[in-house]
Structure formats: structure tokens, C-alpha cells
Structure 1
Amino acid sequence: MNQKNRPAIDPSIVPEQGVTKDGQPLSYNRAPAPDLAPWIARLYVTKVVAPADYTLSCGIFNDTPFVRIQLAGVWTAETATGPEAMGREALFFGPQTKRMPITVTGSFISVGVGIRPGACTALRGPRVGEFLDRLVPTSAVATPSDRVLRMLRADGAPEDWLQALESQVRKRVEHMDGTLPDPVSARFEELAFSNPAIAVSDAAEHCGVERRKLERVVNRDFGLSPKQVLRRARALDMASHLRGVADLDEAEEIALRYYDESHLIHEFSAFFGMSPRQFVATPQPLLTLALESRQARRLEALKRIEPGEARPWQ
């Protein structure tokens, strides 16, 4: 797929964390502290300066639940339960099954922690399947929103904020006596990163369980069937490649996961609401941030880069 027509971000907005080599926005995102790795997928801070009356229309697409603390900006989202408006608030986002349209007006700051598959189950948190393509204030599922906001000092640095969030997760893990996510979910997550074209029956064999058990565990911990999780992983990898936040050495492998171009167009359009060509030609700053963070996590999980090491697109 030709990426030459991919536009850089609008010069009206300025990401504080910089851009990739070809002008795509970056956030500050990193792996969790090693003791929290079984439960936390990723942490991030995004700070963008924009005119007060500037509205950015974009979307997000994450394959894990996120707690997002919106410290600045006026936000809207098109969710499974209808449109939602957000200001300064702490929110629980379930995983997305497709691109979720998002707008934000003015300069914005978003701080978040991604939750690994099975962690909500292990820590007796929300049932992921009940929150697909939805968002709710954290008050509805765990800690009151205002208490979360108080954890993040207004004059704090991004790393201070992330460590404050890690501290809260650590307390919950300790309260639950360190209960780990189901190893079947952890292994299936690795397969979705390494080989999302795998047949479900083969995935069950790799996970050391019967297909029926794999389907039961994945439905519980991912909120989707194994087949749906793998389809989504293929689409997210392709989208990352098209936005220039994937390892170019994988380009051919990613493309070969689809039978032909018509298969790619059909699948991609189902997840993103546009063809791959339209996706390349349309600015996608918020979505690119989410994809970049996921790809960094993926490459680290597959031991292709070390945490904190420069990423291929930087």
C-alpha cells in the first residue's frame, strides 16, 4: 500500500512530545514498572497545544481497556450507547471493536493506563465485555473520578503522573494478593501480537487448552471471540503500517495476512469506516498516537526492542 500521500499533522496543533520522522504525532508512552507488567499494558501522557477554538476531529482504537484522565480539553466521543461529552474527568474506556470517533477542542492533556487482558478479571474490576465501545466515569467502576484527578498534581511532570497511577494499581494488586491474569489470556495476547493470522484451533493448541476453553477464557477477558480478537489485531497492525508507526521490516508480512486487496479493503473498512487509501490520505493524529503506543508495546512484548529503546519509526 502506497504511503507517500500520508499527510503530516495540521501545523495548528503542536504535540509536546514531538513527531515521527515523517511528521506523525508522538505521545510519552512507556511500559509499566516490571512488578506491574502482568496487569498493566501501557502508560501514556499526551500534551498538545492548539488554539482555544480549534476542534480536532479524529478517533481512537484500542484493543485493551484504558483508564484515561482528561486534564484539559473539551472532548466528545461516539460510543455504543450514544454521544458522550467530557471535560476534566477520569474515565474508564472499554476496548474498541472499531474506530471510535472523537473530537477535542482547544489544547488538551490526556494521561492514561492500559489494562492487560485478564487483569480486570484477576483484580475483580469491570467485566470487559460489558464495556465494549463504551466509556464511563471511573466512579461507576472503581475509584471516584475526583479522587483520581487529585492524584495528578497540576504542576507534576508526565513521569510523576504515570508513577502516581502505577502506585494506585500496585495498591489494588496488593489488596488482591497479587492474583495474576489467566495464563491462557496472556498466551493468547502474545499470539495476537506475533501471528494474528493463526487459526483459532491452532491458537488453542499453542495455549495448551481445548478450543472450547480458549473461547470461554478469551470471551471473558477480551470481551470478544478469539476470531474477532485476531481480526482486530491484523487490522491494527495494518493501520499502524499505513500511519508510519510500525517496523518497515514487517510490511510484507503484515500485507500477506490478507488474501488479496479486496479482502484487505473489506476488512479494513469494517474496522475503520474507510478504505486503506482513504485512511492514508486522512489526517489521524489521535488514532496515530494510540497505534504508536500499541506498536511500541507489541515490539517490546515480542522482544524485538527493549523498553525505552528507540522505536523503528522514531
Structure 2
Amino acid sequence: MGLNPRTGISRDGHPLSLSRTPPGDLARFVARFFLLIIERPDDALVESFLLHEAAYIRVPAIGRWETQVAGRWTPYEGPMIFGAQRRRFPVRCTGPIVAAGFMLRPAAWFAFSDVPAHQVADRLDPIDGAWGEALRWACEDIYQIERTFERLEQVVRERVAGRGVTIDPALERFEAISRLDPTRPVADIARELGMIPRRLDRHVRAHFGHPPKMVLRRSRFLDMAAVLRGLSAAGDGEQAALRFYDASHLNREFRLFLDIPPNRFRNTPTLLFTPGLEVREQRKLAEAAADDGLALAWSPPGIPRAAE
């Protein structure tokens, strides 16, 4: 295949991205900044997929990119917002795989989009206008890695300041639960957040893109996918495995989300999915190192939050 992963490689030989924790003033808006450089021949074609639990803004800088929509491959270029995905999202690239961007915090969705997240889920939309130009500028010298990260922070900071979005701590709390304790029943979470389940469903769809049950189910699946890819932290594998009743349950989840059984996933390179999975794991490690855990900013029920 002629791969030269410039931004990292796993212990099992899978190309990885380089990712960064956002600075403190952006931590409620951005989960992680990333940059991916995989050098390949100009005519090399890779067909893979993405599966993100949160929306991404991605700026492909080099290579010819296509996504599969309704069975047809559609080319695209420039900055894109990828909604959260409930199943594998087919993507292919010809040439080097070079892109940068960031993972959005769901509670901050409306700082980056004018429409609810469920309208962008399982699809992508081009970003044009001044915001698109700012993202292009941020990534125009993508091989200057530090400069690219600094510029991405700058344009996000300007975007956030201009939008003036109020973030609901209840949604931040749901995000933390979905990542760190995804086996909890939705009704139990709703009670903790002081909401009826229907209201929680409405808020989660608007910011996460999918219903609460899907958000939690996908999180459990991605934890196990990271284990099988050798990307999870020590001790996480046993905890992730306990969330599945037996081998048939695990097989059913892999077929639902990726349309392949777990053994095949374990032995098949996923050139575009793996870097995103690794960014997710790096975020978990960074938060654990900061002793963040579930202790996120939280307003008890009764304290005013963002408008419904």
C-alpha cells in the first residue's frame, strides 16, 4: 500500500492521528483537535469508513475525497461538518490522506451550526462563507503542525465569541455519563438531570444527533472496538467486555454498527476509522490524567439552563 504515517502509528501498526486537548477557554466547545498525515502515492485508493459519536469539523488538505450516499460515490473538498453517525459512513480517498480539524462537544453544537444536530446526523455538509474561509486559512500550511493547531484554536475562538451560545450543563453531564457510564438506563439519567425522558430525548437529539439510547449503545460499542484495536487503556478491556452478555451479543453489535463480525474487524485494517477511534481514546486518557471523570460543571435541577 506504500503507507508512511507521519502523525503516529499504533503498536499493532495502524496509522494514527496527532491530537491535542483544547485550551481551557475552548474546553466546553471542543473535545479534541486533530491532525492526520498519511503519505501515500497519488494514485493509491483506500476505501474505508467513519463512525463518530460526536460531530466533527474536518478540513481535508490533500487527496481526493468521496463519500457514499445512497449507493453512489460523491466527491467533496474543503471544510465539512460531519454529523454523528449511527452506522458506518463509507468514505474513500485517492492519494495522501492529509486532514485536520476538531471534535465538537455536543452541548456546544449551536456554536457551530444553525440547525439541530439530528438534521446533520449520518451525513455531512460543506462549510462555506467566512467560516469556511477561516478554516481553509487555518489548514493552508498543514505540514506546519504547531501553526495549524494554533490557527485552528484561533478561528474556533473567534467563532465561539461571535455566536455567543449558552451551554447547558445538563447536556455536558449527559455527555460525561454516555462516555464513562453508558450502561445506565435513560430513565435513571433523566431523573438525575431533572427532566422527563421525553424532554431529555428532545434535547439530546438536538445536540447529539441521535436519541439517548443510541448515544449510550454506540458508546459501549466504541469502547469495545478500541479494545479490539489495542487502543484502550490498561484495565478498560475487562470493563468494556462486561457490558456484553455473550459472544452473540458482541457479534450483533458489530454487525449493527460496522456490518462486520468482531473477529473480522480485529484482523482488518480500517485506515480512516482507526485514527478517529484513537482520538476518542486519547481524550479519555487526558481526562483521566486531569482527574476529570464525572465531576463536570453541573447545575442541579431548578437552576435556570439554556432555553428549550
Is TM (by shorter chain) over 0.5? yes
- Hey, what does 1:240 align to over in structure 2? 226
Q: How does 1:266-285 map to 2 (within 5 A)?
A: 266-285=252-271
Conservation of the 8 A alpha-carbon contact between 2:66 and 2:92: yes
Q: CA deviation at 1:147?
A: 4.5
Comparing 14-23 and 115-124, the one that deviates more: 115-124
Q: CA deviation at 1:219?
A: 1.5
Q: Aligned partner of 2:148: which letter?
A: W
Conservation of the 8 A alpha-carbon contact between 1:79 and 1:135: no
Compared with structure 1, are the counterparts of its residues 155 and 110 closer, same or farther at alpha carbon in structure 2 (3 Å cutoff)?
closer
Three-state SS of the structure 1 residue aligned to 2:106 is coil
Unmatched tracts of structure 1, length 5 or more: 1-9, 308-314
Compared with structure 1, are the counterparts of its residues 248 and 153 closer, same or farther at alpha carbon in structure 2 (3 Å cutoff)?
same
- Hey, what does 2:141 align to over in structure 1? 154
Separation in 2 of the partners of 1:165 and 1:41? Answer: 13
Task: Give per-residue Cα distances to partners, 1:34-54, cap 9 Å, x unaligned.
Answer: 100001111100011111221
Conservation of the 8 A alpha-carbon contact between 2:66 and 2:75: yes
Separation in 2 of the partners of 1:116 and 1:150? Answer: 23
Comparing 123-132 and 197-206, the one that deviates more: 123-132
Compared with structure 1, are the counterparts of its residues 148 and 81 closer, same or farther at alpha carbon in structure 2 (3 Å cutoff)?
farther
Task: Give per-residue Cα distances to partners, 1:110-136, cap 9 Å, x unaligned.
Answer: 011111112123566332111111112
Indicate which of 187, 196, 199 corresponds to 2:185: 199
Conservation of the 8 A alpha-carbon contact between 2:59 and 2:139: no
Three-state SS of the structure 2 residue aligned to 1:217 is helix
Separation in 2 of the partners of 1:68 and 1:206? Answer: 34
Compared with structure 1, are the counterparts of its residues 146 and 197 closer, same or farther at alpha carbon in structure 2 (3 Å cutoff)?
same
Normalising by structure 2, we get a TM-score of 0.88
Comparing 214-223 and 272-281, the one that deviates more: 214-223
Separation in 2 of the partners of 1:281 and 1:15? Answer: 19
Three-state SS of the structure 2 residue aligned to 1:181 is coil
- Hey, what does 2:47 align to over in structure 1? 57
Q: CA deviation at 1:300?
A: 2.7
Compared with structure 1, are the counterparts of its residues 58 and 304 closer, same or farther at alpha carbon in structure 2 (3 Å cutoff)?
same
Conservation of the 8 A alpha-carbon contact between 1:24 and 1:288: yes
Separation in 2 of the partners of 1:207 and 1:172? Answer: 29
Unmatched tracts of structure 2, length 5 or more: 293-308
1:98 paired with 2:84, answer no
Q: Aligned partner of 1:127: which letter?
A: P
1:265 paired with 2:251, answer yes
Q: CA deviation at 1:170?
A: 1.0
Indicate which of 17, 20, 33 corresponds to 1:30: 20
CA RMSD in angstroms comes to 2.1
Aligned structure 1 segments of 4 or more residues deviating by more than 4 angstroms: 304-307
Compared with structure 1, are the counterparts of its residues 253 and 172 closer, same or farther at alpha carbon in structure 2 (3 Å cutoff)?
same
- Hey, what does 1:108 align to over in structure 2? 97
Q: Aligned partner of 2:279: which letter?
A: S
Separation in 1 of the partners of 2:160 and 2:73? Answer: 33
Separation in 1 of the partners of 2:50 and 2:146? Answer: 23
Three-state SS of the structure 2 residue aligned to 1:118 is helix
1:125 paired with 2:114, answer yes
Q: CA deviation at 1:296?
A: 1.2
1:136 paired with 2:128, answer no
Three-state SS of the structure 2 residue aligned to 1:238 is helix
Q: CA deviation at 1:151?
A: 3.2
Compared with structure 1, are the counterparts of its residues 80 and 198 closer, same or farther at alpha carbon in structure 2 (3 Å cutoff)?
farther
Three-state SS of the structure 1 residue aligned to 2:235 is helix
Separation in 2 of the partners of 1:288 and 1:306? Answer: 26
Q: CA deviation at 1:243?
A: 0.9
Conservation of the 8 A alpha-carbon contact between 1:184 and 1:214: no
Three-state SS of the structure 1 residue aligned to 2:13 is coil
Separation in 2 of the partners of 1:155 and 1:290? Answer: 18
Q: Aligned partner of 1:226: which letter?
A: P
1:76 paired with 2:66, answer yes
- Hey, what does 2:167 align to over in structure 1? 181
Conservation of the 8 A alpha-carbon contact between 1:236 and 1:291: yes
Q: Aligned partner of 1:120: which letter?
A: W
Task: Give per-residue Cα distances to partners, 1:158-214, cap 9 Å, x unaligned.
Answer: 22112212211211222234x332111100110011111111112223334332322
Separation in 1 of the partners of 2:279 and 2:219? Answer: 14
Q: Aligned partner of 2:109: which letter?
A: C
Conservation of the 8 A alpha-carbon contact between 2:61 and 2:140: no
